A and B are shown apart, each in its own frame.
Chain A
Amino acid sequence: MNVVAEVAAWFADPANWSGSAGIPVLLVQHLGYTAAALGLAVALAVPLGLVLGHTGRGGFLAIQVSNIGRAVPTLAVLTILVLMPPPFQRSTLSALVAFTLFAIPPILTNTYVGMREVDRGAVDAARGMGMSGLQVLRRVELPLAAPLLMNGVRQAAVQVFATVSIAAIAAFGGLGRILTAAVGGVGGTDVAQLIAGALVIAVLAVAIDALLALAARAADPVARARRERSSSRVVELPVDHAGQGGLA
């Protein structure tokens, strides 16, 4: 059996690219879930992490949330939510709640740790210049914590993407459907489809991670300043302008 040829044939089959179970529809579903949950998690976890980090309290909480998050299986949370009474059940709400829950721990911990690792000297200097607490947070701590914060968002994005793939086991949408359909099919297990689905998910996850790694680099004010000083060529890159809001 030539698996490679069969997988190629699966990708070439137009039937796998159309309809409600086609790759485009599942992909849009998958990315939609990922983006929505990530956005929600950022909106919740970043302010909390900034406040905890700024005041220096609650570090224990941030670390514990992260540890417990690792121990709770995605599948368990999804299954419990599906069996909950309305408005949960098998709804978009259940999916969003589960995905957001899994995105919060990495963002919260990284934001907190990023804030704590900001040079105390820089904070003291900013205070000495007469900056208020909020100004210190916005103009000194946040830009310096940005690389770690972005790293947390990157971890969360990859994690949510993986979680959405698993959600298909609990009969949610997304690219995981390709896998569950391949295992649960009438004609036995479709190995070619399994590999194809796994490939699509794997390649996309790596691509998302790489994209966010670039974004994280762009958000690092120290590295950016160094780049701008050492070569003027880098300034022409569009990514360089994207993250400058924090410093302005």
Chain B
Amino acid sequence: MIVHAASGPQNCLVVNDWVCPLYLQTRAEPLLAAVREHLYLTVVSVVLGAVLALPLAVLAHRVRRARALTLGVTTVLYTVPSIALFFLVVPMLGLSAATVITGLTLYTLTILVRNLLVGLDGVDAEVLDAARGMGLSPGRMLWRVELPLALPAAMAGLRVAAVSTVALTTVGAIIGYGGLGTVLVRGLSANFHAEVLTAAVLCVLLALVLDVVLLLAQRAVTPWRRTA
């Protein structure tokens, strides 16, 4: 910012460099707080989305009428821009972190339901016949056969949802709950280059780290696919 120009030595904060180690040193605390908020908003939304997506996908898979309805609603929700999704829930929740989480949850839900459905639909009919022949009840068949086989597709959806949600969380800045997005907007209004670039890079890093974590989790829960 220009305020610094009158006094102090010529450091990267004063000349407003894009890359500034001094910025990282002096603003580590608020930056970490923003990362924590970002991670919190993202993880809560994705977990909530996954918890809600599971019964919806199973219902859509089992009941014909529920299928058309679920697919229709998730397609429309997916099409609605996130920023609009956030504000359509404002009357219920006001301007709070819950608003952002609800919007993001709805968004992840659309991705997760579709991927789970693809996974469930992809289960080999012969495998189901064999399971039925072994005398498995529908409930046990779901838990022991269908869901494990749908896991790769579901995990792929979870990765897409997580990565997209990290990026979308920034939009929450418009109501003050955007994690690194709030830092971005603050940096923009202060014309603070280092702050903007740092927040942007941290966003992408966060997305990549989450993606790698989920990839490792995917390998851990689907050991039979490891050779592929």
Contacts and interface: CB of A to CB of B under 8 A. Distances in A.
B84 A205 contact: yes
Nearest to A82: B188
B204 A79 contact: no
Interface stretch (A48-56, A120-128, A144-152, A158-166): A158-166
B148 interface: no
A82 B196 CA distance: 11
Going nearest first, the 9 A-B pairs with the smallest beta carbon separation are A162-B81, A76-B200, A71-B207, A198-B87, A198-B84, A73-B167, A201-B84, A73-B170, A202-B80
Interface in B55-93: 76, 79-88, 90-91
A75 B79 contact: no
B95 interface: yes
Interface stretch (A9-17, A131-139, A176-184, A220-228): A176-184
Contacts of B53: none
Interface of B: 76, 79-88, 90-91, 95, 160, 163-164, 166-168, 170-171, 173-175, 181, 184-185, 187-188, 191, 193, 196-197, 199-200, 203-204, 207-208, 211
B47 to A, nearest CB: 19
A79 B87 contact: no
B203 A73 contact: yes
A34 B163 CA distance: 24
Interface of A: 3, 67-68, 70-77, 79-80, 82-83, 158, 161-162, 165-166, 169-170, 176, 179-180, 183, 189, 191, 194-195, 197-199, 201-202, 205-206, 209
B203 A76 contact: yes
B179 to A, nearest CB: 10
A84 to B, nearest CB: 9
Given A202-B81, A205-B79, A75 B173 contact: yes
A202 B184 contact: no
A195 to B, nearest CB: 6
Contacts of A166: 81-83, 171
A80 B187 CA distance: 10
A77 B170 CA distance: 11
A73 B181 contact: yes
Contacts of A70: 160, 163-164, 167, 207
Nearest to A206: B79
Contacts of B91: 3, 191, 195
B184 A198 contact: no
Nearest to A76: B200
Contacts of B196: 76, 79-80, 83
A154 B54 CA distance: 28
A212 to B, nearest CB: 10
Centre residue among A71, A202, A205 by max chain B CB count within 10 A: A71
Given A68-B204, A76-B203, 7 more contacts: A67-B163, A70-B167, A75-B184, A170-B185, A180-B174, A202-B80, A206-B76
Contacts of A198: 83-88
B87 A205 contact: no
B174 A83 contact: no
Contact of B171 (A75, A83, A161, A201): A75
Contact of B87 (A83, A161, A195): A195
Contacts of B83: 162, 165-166, 176, 179, 198, 201
Contacts of B203: 71-73, 76
A179 B208 contact: no
A72 B167 contact: yes
Contacts of B184: 73, 75-76, 79
A55 to B, nearest CB: 26
A165 B82 CA distance: 9
A161 B199 CA distance: 24
